[in-house]
């Protein structure tokens, strides 16, 4: 029996990209092909195993909708999202760390005034968020835009609700002239990622838990500065050390201080206990 020459086969496939005029695309495709062939050769995958991989990717695409991006979830669970962010984030030594966007971002959140309650009826314990948006020299950035979203106190996002058109715990807030932001929402809870699709089934078969620690998402932008996609995490909560998407950064863990009912920092009266979370975001200037 004549043995299959894997090296010659790889060389032939790689050379098929020689005429590609887009040099970056050419570089990416050749690298992907090289490492994919190396993986298949190392594992000696059978045709049946490769067909199973193709079915997995097909099913991942088939479950995607305008409000569910299973490929993003798969990327998150494999640690690739965090890897690409870590390789490309724009920050100085004292500026803000970035982390994964996740699969629950929803375009078109309403812009609300400073101090608004963005929870819009989401269940959970009330929390008051405040702080500043600064540059690397600790100077305030006025009119910076914070695009905010989170799950509710039970770990569910509005996009998972039967009422598909109702946004909750998400809004856009702009900083004031001193770079300050503030809003009311809920204290987020840990939650499992969706487990009914291919990514979740892969997670279960791998013997890994499906949980994310409690967190709030922020996209922050202002002219002249690198936009940032990040999260803040509830200090003391579960899964901070074993986040299933590898997104926790120590610099983003924030104390949520519990207060009894009474006067809140914004002057309002709260008739039930509530939390406060204070965090400053630092952006990096374009060079």
Tokens of 279: 């965090």
Quote the tokens at residue 126: 């009330």
- Is residue 246 a contact partner of residue 234, using CB atoms and an 8 Å limit? no
Q: What is the pLDDT of residues 138-174, one digit of tens each?
A: 999 999 999 999 999 998 999 887 776 789 999 999 9
* pLDDT of 93 higher than 70: no
Give me the helices (H) in the chain, please: 6-15, 23-43, 47-62, 70-77, 80-88, 198-205
Taking 80 as the threshold, does the pLDDT of residue 84 lie above it? Answer: yes
Per CATH, the number for 74-283 is 2.60.130.10
DSSP string, 212-254: E-SEEEEEEE-TTB--EEEEEEETT-TTSSS-TT----GGGEE
Q: What is the per-residue pLDDT across 197-232, written as a single tens digit (0 to 9) for each?
A: 999 999 999 999 999 999 999 999 999 999 999 999
Q: For the chain, what is the largest distance between any 2 Cα atoms, rounded to a whole number of angstroms? A: 84
Residue 123 near residue 93 (C-beta atoms within 8 A): no
pLDDT score of 92 more than 70? no
Question: How confident is the model at residue 100, as a pLDDT?
Answer: 92
| Cα gap 216→237, rounded to integer Å | 13
Domain boundaries, the chain: 6-66, 74-283
pTM assigned to the model: 0.91
């Amino acid at each position: 029996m004549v043995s299959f020459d894997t090296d010659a086969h790889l060389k032939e496939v790689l050379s098929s990209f020689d005429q590609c005029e887009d040099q970056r695309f050419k570089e990416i495709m050749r690298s992907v092909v090289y490492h994919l062939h190396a993986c298949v050769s190392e594992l000696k995958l059978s045709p049946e195993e490769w067909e199973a991989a193709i079915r997995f990717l097909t099913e991942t695409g088939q479950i995607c909708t305008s409000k569910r991006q299973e490929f993003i979830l798969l990327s998150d669970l494999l640690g690739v999202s965090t890897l690409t962010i870590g390789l490309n984030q724009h920050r100085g030594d004292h500026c803000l760390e970035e982390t994964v966007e996740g699969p629950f971002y929803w375009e078109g959140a309403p812009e609300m005034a400073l101090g608004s309650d963005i929870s819009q009826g989401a269940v959970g314990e009330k929390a008051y968020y405040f702080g500043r948006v600064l540059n690397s020299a600790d100077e305030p950035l006025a009119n910076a835009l914070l695009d905010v979203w989170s799950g509710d106190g039970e770990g569910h996002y509005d996009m998972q609700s039967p009422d598909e058109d109702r946004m909750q715990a998400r809004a856009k807030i702009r900083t004031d002239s001193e770079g300050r932001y503030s809003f009311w929402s809920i204290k987020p809870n840990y939650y499992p990622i969706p487990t009914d699709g291919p990514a979740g089934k892969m997670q279960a078969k791998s013997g890994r838990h499906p949980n994310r620690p409690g967190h709030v998402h922020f996209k922050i932008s202002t002219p002249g500065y690198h936009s940032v996609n990040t999260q803040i995490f509830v200090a003391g909560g579960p899964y901070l050390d074993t986040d299933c998407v590898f997104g926790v950064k120590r610099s983003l863990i924030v104390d949520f201080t519990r207060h009894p009912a009474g006067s809140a920092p914004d002057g309002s009266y709260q008739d039930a206990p509530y939390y406060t979370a204070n965090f400053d975001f630092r952006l990096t200037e374009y060079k």
